[in-house]
Chains A and B, each alone.
Chain A
């Protein structure tokens, strides 16, 4: 079985990292990662501490100091999925805003299940970094009475299978994962709590006073109510009779466990145990109704207080006077407010870690971390801003120093040389840049100097350790940090000399890399978090020529038999052989058509609209008719593609056409609102009917075309 084999590898490796004597003498021990064994290739066995509900509080305490002392903090997230539908994948035909919308959709829908965090501190005496990797299991559980972070989240089947392949422990995650509340959610919860408190103080105690209805009940209820009335009455008499010690003296009438005499805040009270909620409601109604109607139990008060282990306890309390009653109420309410606040504080859960990172303003290191940052924002701060620029600026406010190692290693020439232009995945970067850590057994007859990294671990207990394997958030965070440290040394940062105050976030050598993230693998652009501006980067080889998005038309709902080749052929017949640059299928129901001229988009839409309105033989014989087969073909310009990408129904449709339908698109063709070209429209229509005839005005039109990049630059 793969599982047991894998586990065995991990557990075997841990004892090798630490000898038992070391463990005995030093509760806190250091074990150089260089002494760990490897099992072929880049596999490293290393203990990464597993953090769940049970040990979260203690870990958080330690972490406070570790983060404060850290020089930088590496992070990595594991999610339940990346794309909610195939067409939500990142394509080269995605404009910057579309790309952000896709990232936003991903962060909105999927859950974070693991948060890897590794603090790195330079130890001048040792001459090495001390890394402390942690692996937090996260689950958006609803905590206590506070509404949870999310009702529902999406899982991508392949991502879940991927996690399973790397032995992700789903039971640990769901059974004991740490919950969280975002800042916005916490504020909301506090507001609700306070307004409820205000209402109570102002006397709006719900419906109880004004509109009490005694429901038409069955006879059993009437009997029960009468019996309760008598028992309450007896008890009250007792309290009045023996005011000094009603519990002792009054025992004759209330020996039952369900009617337990207690003192509540110095007031005699009955604890109501073992009643059903229906019966409790009847008791409450009895107390209130009798109060209101006959002014009889005026001095009795029905209370619901939260007791230990979060269960609410129902009480009937005796009060001496109106003032006494009021002050008791006030006291109870304040208690509730206090305990409510405590509950919210504990429901904040894992976000306390994020708060630590934010208030210490540490340098955050991630590998290809745009999506990770989006998740952090969505889960722990609040709803994602609607635009990429807004997002960048808000992120910069809360996490002022972020560095992406993927960007770092791909944009530095020397590192690129070292990497031999190999792929930039985290594990390959780790094994190439940090061979001393990834495969220490190898003889490194190299002149390169390697940054030493020691792994620190504490309270070693077999149960709370993860094996430290690839694609486990804690270990990935560790690798990211190591790659970063090594890259820093290649950039000429001398840790040995800067040992006193090492302010990496403001280091000149890193200046050009900090706060530069790149939004997706094929964008060829980076975003500067400080300005929110996106710009192309030379180091990324652009595989495709620059794309004019205004030349692109969107078409969907066509026959499933239609292949890209057929579509191109069909369009070329109408608009000329060179008119279509490419046809890109988003999925089998939708495609983007890139024309060579902007006006062809409109020509196409107008022509399609005309053919659909026309029932004559022309519409059947027209070359475009093949596209319209089935009668469900819809078309629009590129902005509609963006609009559909921005639609976020919680149940995302797998097919693009279904999503378009789900968000209520009923029209067939959306012709671009012709702003200044209205006059041209008619002539266009004419020219469409005799297509191919006019190709000469392309030069005239080209000056209208403003490339997206130019627009961005002008901003």
Chain B
């Protein structure tokens, strides 16, 4: 039965398949097929916090309009390392004419330590306001914590395997120079196994009574593996395991070795299983493969889905990619690298094609100021005629169906934009440059968030503001602190006007947190002049001198970058900047390392300041 959603309640009423621990194994098969069949995969996540909600204590930890991709990445990295994922919605979808055919899934996650390895997460932070607002939306925390699916990242899985290597698939590599002890061991095992095999094959034993059978079992050391006869060969090293594997190959094809590890993960014994025929052997091997897969599923948990998406090479659609993918990298791939360039490289290996809706909206002229998906959707609805229908062919059975329907909105918005862009490229009239969706792939826009004034919550409509885009070089940015008393940017601006001639030109002042303000100069070079004059305070007189004596300080963008790179996230920005400035000497080695690629970065370090 297909549900075609129309009208206002387009998304609210659409059922989203809710996946927890209990139905995960079944869902994974289903989603595998859906991903294979789809053109695109939209994803969206719910976390325990992300620094974007109004945090009064550390407002500068958010990704701000003054952040370059580098600093924005470092901030996202911090969030990904601090917080945890609770829901991960995946929606494979295809665009068929004017129809979006979508298969939404919402996975409930919890980093439960299923294998008691201290992984994936020892502890994680929760943002109070974040959880409270999720609660208002009716978020079901019990579902996540009780029945959420756990996971291990690729790196963690490797670690886990190291610790409890239990793989039966053992690569047989011939041992180079066997020692005398080895050959004795080999001979002994060989005769034992051959004898045992012969005894098993000997059909005459069927005539014997049960007592004789069990006695034989005792004598031969045999045991059954399921319905098949088997025996254990005790070993005490990896090498001996290899030797046993070799011998078994020599003896017969119908013997299948299974490595049995002890609690510490060291090989303890090799179980030899006798199969009755070629088909029986195949059957056993598939059985073993299945149990291995099951074990893998248990180990990887939800990451299996990420792996599926990754190996499908479908185009992934997401909003706030930088945020989401730092989380994905941290939780499902491995620890985040130090620089954004390394991050992008590493991510490209996992996902070759990602479209950031945030970036797409920014590029799509009229939607530049859309703050969130609903406002972009409502704008499109008002301004453009894009006939598009959403179809969800599968009905979820029960439960709270609307959880995770954000991912449907993503898919829907993407489909609309896709169509608009296509129309534009054919007519070449509506839009200035005709680009196709492909041109937007793999460019992440740091989530743009305006500096909120506290208490200014009711501005849904003001998502549309004046359309001024300005890019500013980081050279024209200064951080100021130590101005006693000034509490508003207007007041500070008035004060600055009096202290130095550079402030005669046009400039902007904004508070980053209560201790520190950022000044953006129109004229290049102004920042440098002020910094120089403040350093040589003996030659400068007047108000500036008086203020510097009283603790007025300034720092360029480099200091800010250093704060982010060193991870000085504690406390107010002013304090962190002071620490960063003080550390110049000690940090020489790391500076020289990064300086090399900073020059390259500097040339393109332009930031979008329209939100300032």
Q: Point out residues on A near B: beta carbons under 8 Å.
A: 3, 80-81, 84-86, 111, 139-142, 145, 147-148, 150-158, 160-161, 163-164, 169-171, 173-175, 206-207, 211, 213, 217-218, 276-278, 312, 649-652, 654, 662, 664, 666
Contacts of A666 in B (CB 8 A): 586-587
Q: How far is the CA of A80 from the CA of B131 in the complex (A)?
A: 14
Q: How far is the CA of A471 from the CA of B438 in the complex (A)?
A: 55
Q: Is the CB of A649 within 8 A of B122?
A: no
Q: How far is the CA of A277 from the CA of B466 in the complex (A)?
A: 15
A sample of 9 inter-chain contacts (CB < 8 A) reads A147-B56, A157-B124, A161-B112, A175-B135, A217-B466, A276-B460, A278-B462, A651-B81, A664-B566
Contacts of B458 in A (CB 8 A): 276-277
Contacts of A213 in B (CB 8 A): 490
If A142-B129, A651-B81 touch, does A81 touch B567 (CB 8 Å cutoff)? no
B397 proximal to A (CB < 8 A): no
Contacts of A662 in B (CB 8 A): 567
How far does the Cβ of B190 sit from chain A's closest Cβ, in whole Å? 36
Q: Is the CB of B569 within 8 A of A651?
A: yes
- Please tell me which one of the listed residues B127, B462, B583 contacts residue A276 in the complex, with CB atoms under 8 A apart: B462
B228 proximal to A (CB < 8 A): no
For B570, the closest partner residue in chain A by CB is A649
Q: How far is the CA of A86 from the CA of B113 in the complex (A)?
A: 14
Contacts of A174 in B (CB 8 A): 131-132, 134-135, 141
Task: Annotate B39-77 by CB proximity to A: 1 below 8 A, 0 otherwise.
Answer: 000000000110000011110000000000000000000
Q: Is the CB of B126 within 8 A of A85?
A: no
Contacts of B110 in A (CB 8 A): 160
Q: Is the CB of B55 within 8 A of A157?
A: no
Contacts of B113 in A (CB 8 A): 157-158, 161
If A151-B127, A207-B488 touch, does A157 touch B569 (CB 8 Å cutoff)? no
If A171-B140, A651-B82 touch, does A148 touch B123 (CB 8 Å cutoff)? no
Contacts of A163 in B (CB 8 A): 145
Q: Count residues of chain B with CB under 8 A from any CB of chain A.
A: 53
Task: Annotate B489-500 by CB proximity to A: 1 below 8 A, 0 otherwise.
Answer: 011001000000
For B81, the closest partner residue in chain A by CB is A651
Contacts of B456 in A (CB 8 A): 277
Contacts of A173 in B (CB 8 A): 141
Q: Is the CB of B131 within 8 A of A157?
A: no
Q: How far is the CA of A152 from the CA of B55 in the complex (A)?
A: 9
Contacts of B455 in A (CB 8 A): 145, 312
Q: Is the CB of A140 within 8 A of B128?
A: yes
Contacts of A206 in B (CB 8 A): 488
How far does the Cβ of B595 sit from chain A's closest Cβ, in whole Å? 18
B426 proximal to A (CB < 8 A): no
B111 proximal to A (CB < 8 A): yes
Contacts of B118 in A (CB 8 A): 86
Contacts of B57 in A (CB 8 A): 151
If A164-B145, A651-B81 touch, does A155 touch B123 (CB 8 Å cutoff)? yes
Q: Is the CB of A151 within 8 A of B121?
A: no
For A653, the closest partner residue in chain B by CB is B81
Contacts of B208 in A (CB 8 A): none
Q: Is the CB of A3 within 8 A of B128?
A: no
Contacts of B462 in A (CB 8 A): 276-278
Q: Is the CB of B142 within 8 A of A170?
A: yes
Q: Is the CB of A211 within 8 A of B126?
A: no
How far does the Cβ of B298 sit from chain A's closest Cβ, in whole Å? 16
| Besides A154-B124, A160-B110, 4 other A-B contacts (C-beta < 8 A) | A155-B123, A161-B145, A164-B146, A649-B569
Q: Is the CB of A153 within 8 A of B128?
A: yes
Contacts of B146 in A (CB 8 A): 3, 164
Give the most central of A86, A171, A173: most B CB within 10 Å.
Answer: A171
Contacts of A154 in B (CB 8 A): 123-126
How far does the Cβ of B86 sit from chain A's closest Cβ, in whole Å? 11
Q: How far is the CA of A148 from the CA of B53 in the complex (A)?
A: 14
Give the most central of B110, B124, B488, B491: most A CB within 10 Å.
Answer: B124
Task: Annotate B241-279 by CB proximity to A: 1 below 8 A, 0 otherwise.
Answer: 000000000000000000000000000000000000000
- Please tell me which one of the listed residues A86, A148, A152 contacts residue B49 in the complex, with CB atoms under 8 A apart: A152
For A163, the closest partner residue in chain B by CB is B145
For B78, the closest partner residue in chain A by CB is A651
Total A-B residue contacts, Cβ distance less than 8 Å? 126
Task: Annotate B451-465 by CB proximity to A: 1 below 8 A, 0 otherwise.
Answer: 000011011111000
Q: Point out residues on B near A: beta carbons under 8 Å.
A: 48-49, 55-58, 78, 81-82, 84, 110-113, 118, 121-129, 131-132, 134-135, 140-142, 145-146, 455-456, 458-462, 466, 488, 490-491, 494, 566-567, 569-570, 579, 583, 586-587
Q: How far is the CA of A147 from the CA of B57 in the complex (A)?
A: 10
Q: How far is the CA of A3 from the CA of B122 in the complex (A)?
A: 25
If A151-B57, A170-B141, A171-B140 touch, does A157 touch B125 (CB 8 Å cutoff)? no
How far does the Cβ of B490 sit from chain A's closest Cβ, in whole Å? 4
Contacts of B132 in A (CB 8 A): 139, 141-142, 174
Q: Is the CB of A170 within 8 A of B145?
A: yes
Q: How far is the CA of A145 from the CA of B457 in the complex (A)?
A: 12
Contacts of A158 in B (CB 8 A): 113
How far does the Cβ of A634 sit from chain B's closest Cβ, in whole Å? 14
How far does the Cβ of A47 sit from chain B's closest Cβ, in whole Å? 21
How far does the Cβ of B18 sit from chain A's closest Cβ, in whole Å? 15
- Please tell me which one of the listed residues B84, B122, B129, B490 contacts residue A207 in the complex, with CB atoms under 8 A apart: B490
For A211, the closest partner residue in chain B by CB is B490
How far does the Cβ of A462 sit from chain B's closest Cβ, in whole Å? 18
If A276-B459, A651-B82 touch, does A142 touch B142 (CB 8 Å cutoff)? no
If A153-B128, A206-B488, A662-B567 touch, does A652 touch B461 (CB 8 Å cutoff)? no
Q: Is the CB of B123 within 8 A of A84?
A: yes
For A662, the closest partner residue in chain B by CB is B567
Contacts of B579 in A (CB 8 A): 664
Q: How far is the CA of A320 from the CA of B101 in the complex (A)?
A: 65
Q: Is the CB of B466 within 8 A of A218?
A: yes
For B141, the closest partner residue in chain A by CB is A170
Q: How far is the CA of A277 from the CA of B118 in the complex (A)?
A: 48
If A142-B132, A174-B135, A276-B461 touch, does A155 touch B141 (CB 8 Å cutoff)? no
Contacts of A651 in B (CB 8 A): 78, 81-82, 125, 569
For B466, the closest partner residue in chain A by CB is A218
Q: How far is the CA of A156 from the CA of B49 in the complex (A)?
A: 15
Contacts of B125 in A (CB 8 A): 152-155, 650-651
Contacts of B122 in A (CB 8 A): 85-86, 156-157, 654
Q: How far is the CA of A558 from the CA of B131 in the complex (A)?
A: 39
Q: Is the CB of B111 within 8 A of A157?
A: yes
Q: How far is the CA of A369 from the CA of B456 in the complex (A)?
A: 43
Q: Is the CB of B126 within 8 A of A152?
A: yes
- Please tell me which one of the listed residues A156, A171, A218, A278 contacts residue B123 in the complex, with CB atoms under 8 A apart: A156
Contacts of A85 in B (CB 8 A): 122-123
For B136, the closest partner residue in chain A by CB is A175
Give the most central of A175, A211, A654: most B CB within 10 Å.
Answer: A175
Q: How far is the CA of A652 from the CA of B587 in the complex (A)?
A: 23
How far does the Cβ of A628 sit from chain B's closest Cβ, in whole Å? 18
Contacts of A164 in B (CB 8 A): 142, 145-146
For A204, the closest partner residue in chain B by CB is B487
Q: How far is the CA of A59 from the CA of B125 in the complex (A)?
A: 31
Contacts of B48 in A (CB 8 A): 155
Contacts of A277 in B (CB 8 A): 456, 458-459, 462
Q: Is the CB of B490 within 8 A of A142?
A: no
Q: Is the CB of A211 within 8 A of B494?
A: yes
How far does the Cβ of A179 sit from chain B's closest Cβ, in whole Å? 9
Q: How far is the CA of A654 from the CA of B570 in the complex (A)?
A: 17
Contacts of B81 in A (CB 8 A): 651
Q: How far is the CA of A141 from the CA of B490 in the complex (A)?
A: 33
Contacts of A650 in B (CB 8 A): 125, 569-570
Q: Is the CB of B135 within 8 A of A157?
A: no
How far does the Cβ of A292 sit from chain B's closest Cβ, in whole Å? 14
For B123, the closest partner residue in chain A by CB is A156
Q: Is the CB of A652 within 8 A of B141?
A: no
- Counting from the closest, the 3 A-B pairs by CB-CB distance are A170-B141, A211-B490, A276-B461
